[in-house]
Structure 1
Amino acid sequence: MRYKTVPGLNDTSIFASDGDKITPIVVQAALELVSEGAQLITCNCGYSIRFQQAVRDAVDVPVFLSSLLLAPFLEMMLPANQALGIIVASKSELTQDMLVASGLRADIGRKLVIAGLEDTPVFGNGWVRAEGDLDVGGSQADLVDTAVALQKERPDIGMLLLECGDLPPYAYAVQQATQIPVFDFTSMVEFFVGGLVRKPFTGLI
């Protein structure tokens, strides 16, 4: 596994109205990773979906920069009477263009339910606004409370997708609290790696 820091890519630049100007720098980072032997390119920030197509066009390995790419797959698996819940770091920053870029249908309507964490007391301060120290327990509580509240509001939610790359450590707690399937960007990476490095078949367990 190799990591690459993208100079200038931060919360401010990724949400800026002219954020596309940083696309060439993101593409260059991906090209460098491929030159170093990377067999896939991913990113921990779900809002990096805005760079998905540009990076995909530039490299010759699979690219999945956002857990939002899982959304169409998960939504298609759900029964017709169930909805997909997505918990994001900041709901106000999630645009319709991002959802379309992930492959979701523009007319998905009530089949998609989104909740943001920007107003939560701990995660919102520590992660979204970068204020104070990291409080793991408090961040987990905020995420669990948000998920449970969303499920109470919409009991038809059949699966949850965590957009933010900072949320996987809390996915277990969310799944235990909601008792429905929970996915994040590590789910996407593990899915692909499972196909890339197959193991000998030893029978059904």
Structure 2
Amino acid sequence: MSPGRDQNGGVVLSARTGQVFAGAPLGILLLDGVDCPFIPGSVGNASTWSVPVRYKLVPGMNEHQLFGPTPAEVTPAVVQAAIELAREGAQMITANCGFTIHYQEAVRASVDVPVLLSSLLLAPFLERLLPRTKTLGIVTGGKDYFTPELLSASGLLEAPDRFVVANITEAPAWTALWRYPGTLDVAGVESEVVRTAMDLVSTRPDVGAILLECSDLPPYAAAVQRATRLPVFDFTSMVEFFAAGLMRKPFDGFLY
């Protein structure tokens, strides 16, 4: 629905073709074939968000495509799903994998709402904020797939000395999460994520902030911050930042 006003200043709403419900501004594209628990904090858990959400699974968009040599093969399906979300009323679109950055430009060119498909979009922003003596630490579930193409899509290709990547892929509890069907040892994964971050800052004391790439890492952001005493960012930081811009509230306070 698109709002307008009548001659008396009253709100007038026009229906949007294809929109059958309203009030869920966040649209989320989902990987196909992910069978693991989604706890609060995960992109895949609706209670994570401060605003109502709508989810849409993208057929064929799975880890084999994202981490394989031909992620572009499913671009049409990703674009179509995003178009459907926008048609249904989504005011912004994200996804539940950092590596969907591969589809950022294609989706952005196809819908008329903001597109934030990956937490990696935060990387160049954070890098520009940090002192020149500091680097950005990125914790990921797929360091081996940080290809030049992915770095270019993330805006990091031109600043290779401004970030460092730490991998959690081989950690046992984390690995168990991605087996079929996945099992989640929350305390075990939290310990592994914290240890990965601590090893990173121990090896690279110049790290000034940490970005959690994977959409299932935000549940552990607070623990990482407590351990490292550094600013920690993730999918939720990015999405909630923009969601706040969609629904600004008037300031209220003392005038004198």
Q: Does 1:119 align with 2:191?
A: no
Secondary structure of the 1:2 match is strand
Radius of gyration: which is bigger? 2
Alignment of 1:1-205 (within 5 A): 1-104=53-156, 106-127=157-178, 129-130=179-180, 133-203=183-253
Residue 7 of structure 2: aligned partner: none
Aligned partners of 2:84, 2:210: CA distance in 1, in Å?
34
**Conserved? CA contact 2:177–2:183, under 8 Å:** yes
**Conserved? CA contact 1:47–1:94, under 8 Å:** no
Give ranges in structure 1 of 5+ residues lacking alignment: none
Secondary structure of the 2:245 match is helix
Greater mean deviation of Cα atoms: 11-20 or 34-43: 11-20
1:162-203 CA deviation, whole Å, 9 max, x = no partner? 000000001000000000000001100000011110011124
Aligned partners of 2:64, 2:152: CA distance in 1, in Å?
22
Aligned partners of 1:120, 1:130: CA distance in 2, in Å?
16
Residue type at the aligned position of 1:138: G
Aligned partners of 1:131, 1:148: CA distance in 2, in Å?
29
1:116-135 CA deviation, whole Å, 9 max, x = no partner? 111112113323x5575211
**Conserved? CA contact 2:176–2:183, under 8 Å:** no
Q: CA deviation at 1:160?
A: 0.2
Give ranges in structure 2 of 5+ residues lacking alignment: 1-52
Residue type at the aligned position of 2:241: F
**Conserved? CA contact 1:126–1:133, under 8 Å:** yes
Aligned partners of 1:111, 1:85: CA distance in 2, in Å?
9
Sequence identity (%): 55
Secondary structure of the 2:209 match is strand
Residue type at the aligned position of 1:157: V
Q: CA deviation at 1:67?
A: 0.2
Length, aligned pairs only: 202
TM-score (norm 1): 0.94
**Conserved? CA contact 1:82–1:158, under 8 Å:** yes
Aligned partners of 1:109, 1:27: CA distance in 2, in Å?
30
Decide which structure has greater helix share. Answer: 1
TM-aligned CA distance change 1:149 to 1:131, over 3 Å = farther
Aligned partners of 1:98, 1:155: CA distance in 2, in Å?
26
Decide which structure has greater strand share. Answer: 2
Residue type at the aligned position of 2:198: V
Secondary structure of the 1:114 match is strand
1:96-115 CA deviation, whole Å, 9 max, x = no partner? 211111122x3313221001
Secondary structure of the 1:122 match is helix
1:14-52 CA deviation, whole Å, 9 max, x = no partner? 122122110000000000001100001101200000000
Secondary structure of the 1:86 match is strand
